[in-house]
Structure 1
C-alpha cells in the first residue's frame, strides 16, 4: 500500500488538461478560459444617462436653479435629434444617449415641467448640479482593445453577461472531461427494479454521476456490468473512449474481483493498487496511453462510503486537472469531538459526523462534531445524515472528549453551515 499523498501525486502527474475547444456562452459556464478576451468596442458606445430626468448644460443653472425650454425627448434606443443649445433641456430616460452639448442630468425630483402656448419649459432646483452628473461617459465601463477576461479564469454567469457585452458569442475554453461511470457486480439491479434474492439496487452509479457533475465533469452512464470477463471487457472498452473511466467494485482480492485482470488485458497500465486509507484501501488506478492524452482509470471499492471517500480524495482532483480548474478540495474545518473516540487500525480513517453549533469563524470556538452510529462502509443511509467526515490520522488510538479534529465538509455541511 502507498500513502494518500503518494497516490494523489501519481494521479496528478498523469492528469494533463485536455485540448481547448470553442463553445457558446451557454456551454462555457464553469469552464476555464484558454484565451484572453479583448473588447471590440467602447462600452458604453455613447455617453449614457444613468437616471430619468432632463439633460442640461450645467452652466445654465446659476446656483442650481433656472428655467429651460424642453426641445426633445429621448428614450433608451432613441437617437437625439439635435445638439443641445444653451438655455434648452431634453427630457431623457435611463440608458438613453445624452445629446451632444449636454453635460449633466438633473433627476425628475428636482424638476417641474410647465406647458403654455405650445411651449414646454422645465423649472429646475438642484443646487448640487455639476458637469458629468448622472452620465456614464463613452468607454467608461470598458475601452476598445481592453482585456476584459484573462486566460485561466473560470467563467461565471456574470462573465457570460460580460462576454455578450463585448460581442463574444463563443469563447475558447478547456474541455470539460467526459467521465464514464461503470458499477460492476452480478448482484446489482437498476434503481427502478425490485431486487430479487441476493440482489441489491445500484446506488453507486447515480451517486458517482452526481459527484462527477459537481466536480466539473460530464458523466457518461454505462449502466451495470456483470462479473464476467466478457461483459466487463465489453463495457470497459466503451468507457476507455472517454477521458476518465470510473469503475465501482471488483477491485479487492476475491475470486470474483476481476477488474484489474480485465483492465490489464485491455492495455491499461496499472500505476498502483491499494492506498493506506480507511475506508477505501482497495483503490486501483491506471492509465491507457492515448494520442490525445492518457485515459485515466479508477477502480473504486464497491461500498458506497469507500467510493465516496476515494472520489473526493483522488477523482475530484483528477477531474479538476483535466479541466484546468484550480485544485480546490473539499473545505476542511476544525471541530471538537462531542464524545471520546477509539481509533482502531493503522490507517488514516474518515468517519461520518454531524456538526452542531455555529461554524467556527476566526478566533471563535470550533463547532462540535458528533460521531454518527455508522455501520460500516456500506451504510449510505447514515452517510446521508452526515455534515462531514472527521479525519483520524494513523498513529493514535485514543481521542478525548472536546479534542479538536479536522472535518472534511460534504454537501450537507456546506449548505447547513
Structure 2
C-alpha cells in the first residue's frame, strides 16, 4: 500500500509520553513516511521522534510524571498543556489524524475532546483494562476511532466488552457516526530483543566471569515494591545458596535511593552472598542469568523475549491486596504477561502471603539445577515470541492509513 491515492500528503499529530512512547513514536513516523513520503509530523515529542522528523511543539518530558507526589503539583501544567493542544490541533494546525501514544491518563481525555471536534483519533497501546477497571472500556471507545494493541488477546477482549456493555461511540454533530476498531500490531519489544548477546558475553560485560549459576533478582522499580519485596527476595536467595553451591546473584536497581534500601536488606538478611548490584542494566542482568526472580510487570515480558526462565512474586499493601484478590478488582487468573500469553501458562506466580522465602526458593530451585525444567518454560516462550514478533511500526502505519482512507465503512 502506498500513499499515492491520497489527494495531498497527510499531516499527523503525535502525543507521546515516557521513553517507551518516544521509541514507539519514532518507529511509527518512519513507517508512516514510507507509505506517505510527503507527510508532516508534529506534536509532543522526545529525542527519537524529533530525530525521525517530528516537529516538537512540546517536550515529552512534560508528560513524563509518575506517582502521586509528582502528579499532583504537575496538574496545572498538564491542564494548561491539554487546553493548548486542543486549540492548536482543532484550530491552528488541524491534522488529518491525531495519534496518542500510551500516557492514557492524559491522552484518552485529549483524544475524546478532539474526536468530538471532528478529528480522527488513534490511541497506541491499550491500557490493561482486561485485568482491572473494565469500565474504562467505555472511555476508550468514546476517545479513539482506532486502538492499536500490542497483545493478541486485546482486540477480541474489546469486541466482547463492547457487545456486553452495548457501547457505541458518541455521535459528532454534522458527521456520520464513526465505528471504533481495535487492531493487533504485534509488540515492538519482540523485534528489539533477541539472542545476539550470549549468556557468557553478558556475564563478562557485567564482571560475572567464573563458574557457578547466576540468579537475576529484579524486585521492581518503585519504592513500594522494594519495601514489600526486598526482604522476601533476599531471604529466598539465602535459602537457595545453601542448596546451590556457588550460586551468585545480580540485581539491577533503577534509582540510587532504591539501591541503598535493597543493599540494606542484603546486609541484614544475607551479608555472606556473592551479590552484584547494577545501576539499571536490567536486560543485561537477565541475559547473564540462568533463571530470574522478578516482580510482575513489563520486565516479565522482556524476560520471556530474552529466553530466560522465571518465577514471579509480588507483594503489595494489605488494602491493595484485598481490593485486587479478595474484592475481585483483578479480573484475570494470572498477573504476569508470560502466563497471559502462553497456551499453557508455565510460570510460577506467588502473590501476597504465598510469596514466602521458602516457596520462592522451592519454585526457583529446579530452574537453577535442571536445564529440562527451564526448557518447559522456554518452549512456551518461543511460541509467544513468534506471535509477537511482527513489524509493529509497519502494521500500525497500515492501520492508520486505512483509517485515513475511510476504509472502515464509516
TM-score (norm 1): 0.27
TM-score (norm 2): 0.27
Which of these two proteins has the greater Rg computed from alpha carbons?
Answer: 1
Higher helix residue share: 2
Higher strand residue share: 1
